[in-house]
Structure 1
Amino acid sequence: MSNDAKTRAHEAAAPATGSGTHGKSTINDVARLAGVSKKTVSRVINDSPLVRPDTRQKILSLMQEMGYAPDPQARGLAFRRSFLIGLVFDNPTAQYIVNLQYGALDALRDSGFELVVHPCDSKSEGYIEGIKRFAQQQKLYGVILIPRVSEDQALADALKEIGCRYVRIASVPMDEPANMVLTHDRQAGAEAANYLESLGHRRVALITGPKRYRSSIERGGGFTEALAKRGIELPPERVYEGGYTFESGVAGAEALLTRHPRPTAIFACNDEMAAGVYKAALRMGLSIPGDLSVVGYDDSPLASQLWPALTTLRLPVRDLGRQAAAMLLAENWPRAAQAQAGISVSPHLVVRDSCQPPQA
């Protein structure tokens, strides 16, 4: 689009309340008081390098003083794209998505960008086409993909095809560094195993998430591998595939705790399933941590609300959202984001009251 078209789009901006006697400020007012053309003001708004630094500063100061701000929709028309960042997800826990949104909004604050969310069902036919339509209809500036949709290479390829920038949050590298924020789930699973072994637990059990989730594979794999390094076998009968839900935690614990000999500790791969373990233990007359130690994952608000308070792996979800949104906003993306290669967050163990050494 030509510079003249961009200027016309800025003229359509919703005027803001100004500090002058006229009450409303427009791009014409800014240009008149700065002694420049409307095109020059438009270039400053668009961060064009074709404006002298002293002129740029003069215009920015006037805009701030007058309370003038270009309308995001008008800016979108000028660039043939919206100032919207999409957040695409498939059935995460409610607290996870809330924390992620807070983090993304932290990064978008005062940037002129807004966040729009798009839930989907990755098991449904045509879900990738649905996300493509969402990105195209909203003219998205970029998309944040979270597990499990972030693990779908076909979706990433589809976004590349339509020229939509994206960042994937995942437990292992699946793309160029400019497109990734890593969570190191395997490392966290190992930390849970090492902690339980350090307390003396050798008869432990595991409740994983669904096998189709890479996070589940990584958390369970890290747990199993760390136990093996310490000489502890985790047989298949002490592993239960859950669904990252409270109900699957109850079912998994009931299946595992009726085995003989009974496990003395359970690692549940998220806090909701760990809460389900609490319910199953209560039904069976088992005390936590006296008869059974429990470790969760996420450090959601639920972890500190349970009694006894749950020992869990804290995943800084808000930081994930903030990092992902900041990467999308980086100038000259993906080159600028590429310079930040290796962006990641690492879970760490938060010790509370749900674990103790096993009874003799």
Structure 2
Amino acid sequence: MAKQAQDEGLNAKLTINDIARMAGVSKKTVSRVINRSPLLNAQTREKVEQIIADTGYVPNPQARALALGRNFLIGLIYDNPNQQMILSMQRGILEALHGTEFELVVRPVDRGSARVMDDIRGFITRQRLYGVILLPPISENDTLARLCDEEGCRYVRMGSAVLDDPEHMVVSNDRDAVADAVRYLIAQGHRRIGLIAGPHGFRSAKERRDGFELALSEAGISLPRSLVADGQYTFESGISACESLLDLSPRPTAIFAANDEMAAGVLYAARLRGIEVPDELSIIGFDDTPLTTRVWPPLTTVRWPIVAMGRAAALKLIGTAIGEGSAVNEPSTFSSTLIRRGSVAPLPIA
């Protein structure tokens, strides 16, 4: 027992540099083995893993954190009513963090608060965050990006338009994707198409509306103000907005809702009025959340690659730390695509 205790005391003092020397590899290679990086050949991995097993070496995250002046924590900061989007983003981030020393800390904020910047600064400094991922619409605030720089905290912004350098950005093509979705409705014969827009102040809402209007303009279709209803990215706002559109005479034959929650609200409102979907009303949403296949008919929607975007955002932050190279090597632009299901049908010929 005494010898075991002595050995354990000795092993506790081993550093990553010692393991690298014993294995005849670089410190970065050992770090890659510890963090289960795929960027290693099997022989090198097995050699380093055997030495770690033989010596009983245990990485010391506290020591590494002390050396970095940061904890191994990634913060997810958001103010967004779409909970499914938050959950999908977390899933992507956690996929990237799996097998590393990093953990995720989630922080909702109120972007309308006069103290929001002070609150975020306090969160970053108290937790000594390694980096943060900022979700829209708060990610669109350039002041927040500067705050992160001032605190020496890495950051990645997610959005629907380019807001920053590639190392600080993951962006989707919302405008083009929505234009394609509306072109699909037009190809089905629909010309009186309603829009349930997203909340004011969200860049995604603007980009999606711009794509909607672009497709109509290309087809020479006018957009009366009465065919645009405001939504809040919630199921309830989808119902309310749809009711205002269905009160029109003539009512729209198709509706594009700027997210799936509101599209589900459209489906609900139509059912309450006895309007058959898709025979009397076609519906398209945006996100491709799980609920799109849990309603009837299943919703045609634009698939937003939110999980992949979350994974890329996290790897942009931690890539160098886990030996995965430059953050810029992670993709910055992601394409959304139309997923055709049962909620769209050709316009019946009168």
Task: Please say whether Structure 1 and Structure 2 have the same fold, judged by a TM-score greater than 0.5.
Answer: yes
**Which residue of 318, 329, 337 maps to 2:327?**
337
Cα distance between partner residues in 1 of 2:152 and 2:279: 56
Give SS of 1:308's match: coil
Kindly provide the amino acid, as one letter, of the partner of residue 138 in structure 1. Answer: Q
What is residue 77 of structure 1 aligned with on the other side?
A: 66
Do structure 1's residue 29 and structure 2's residue 11 form an aligned pair? yes
Residue equivalent to 1:156:
145
Structure 1 residue 110 displacement after superposition: 1.5
Q: CA separation in 2, counterparts of 1:322 and 1:346?
A: 15
CA 1:296/1:59 → structure 2, altered by over 3 Å: closer, same or farther? closer
Unaligned runs of 5+ in 2: 31-43
Amino acid at match of 1:151: E
Q: For the residues of structure 2 that align with 1:225 and 1:122, how far apart are their CA atoms?
A: 30
Q: 2:128 aligns with which of 139, 146, 157?
A: 139
Hey, what's the Cα distance between the residues in 1 that align with 2:61 and 2:70? 10
2:279 aligns to what SS in structure 1? Answer: coil
Q: How much does 1:255 deviate? A: 0.3
**Which string of whole-angstrom CA distances, capped at 9 and with x for unpartnered residues, describes residues 50-69 of structure 1?**
x9xxx999765422445532
**Superposition pairs for residues 1-360 of structure 1, below 5 Å?**
22=4, 28-29=10-11, 40-41=17-18, 48=27, 61-331=50-320, 336-340=326-330, 343-359=332-348, 360=350
Alpha-carbon distance in structure 1 between the residues aligned to 2:303 and 2:249: 32
1:34-65 CA distance string (max 9 Å, x none) = xxx75843887xx757x9xxx99976542244
RMSD of Structure 2 on Structure 1 (CA): 2.9
SS of equivalent to 1:302: helix
- TM-fit CA distance, 1:125: 1.3
How far 1:141 moved relative to its partner?
0.6
Give me the identity figure in percent. 45
Report the Cα offset of residue 27 of structure 1: 7.3
CA distance in 2, matches of 1:187, 1:22: 65
User: In structure 1, what residue type is equivalent to 2:18?
Assistant: V
Question: Tell me, which stretches of 5 or more residues in structure 1 are unaligned?
Answer: 1-20, 32-36
CA distance in 1, matches of 2:45, 2:86: 39
* Alpha-carbon distance in structure 1 between the residues aligned to 2:236 and 2:48: 59
How far apart are 1:92 and its partner, in Å? 3.9
Name the CA shift for 1:165/1:286 in 2 (closer, same or farther; >3 Å): same
Secondary structure at the aligned position of 1:181 is classed as: strand
CA deviation string 1:170-229 (max 9, x = no partner): 111111111010111101110111110010000000001112000000011101111110
Against the structure 1 CA distance between its residues 39 and 150, is the aligned structure 2 distance closer, same or farther, given a 3 Å change threshold?
closer
Structure 2: distance between partners of 1:312 and 1:23: 62
Cα distance, 1:94 vs structure 2: 1.9
Whole-angstrom distance in 2 between the partners of 1:120 and 1:38: 39
CA distance in 1, matches of 2:164, 2:258: 25
**CA separation of 1:354 and 1:56: change in aligned 2, threshold 3 A:** closer
TM-score normalized by structure 1? Answer: 0.84
Contact 1:247 1:273 in 2 (8 A): yes
- Match of 1:76, SS state, is helix
CA distance in 2, matches of 1:311, 1:69: 50
Following TM superposition, by how much is the alpha carbon of 1:324 offset from its aligned partner in structure 2, in angstroms? 0.3
1:337 shift after superposition: 2.5
For 1:204, give the aligned amino acid: I
Q: Which amino acid aligns with 1:222?
A: G
Q: 1 CA distance for matches of 2:77 and 2:270?
A: 36
Letter of the structure 2 residue corresponding to residue 233 of structure 1: S
Seen in structure 2, the aligned counterparts of structure 1 residues 65 and 292 have a Cα distance that, compared at 3 Å, is farther
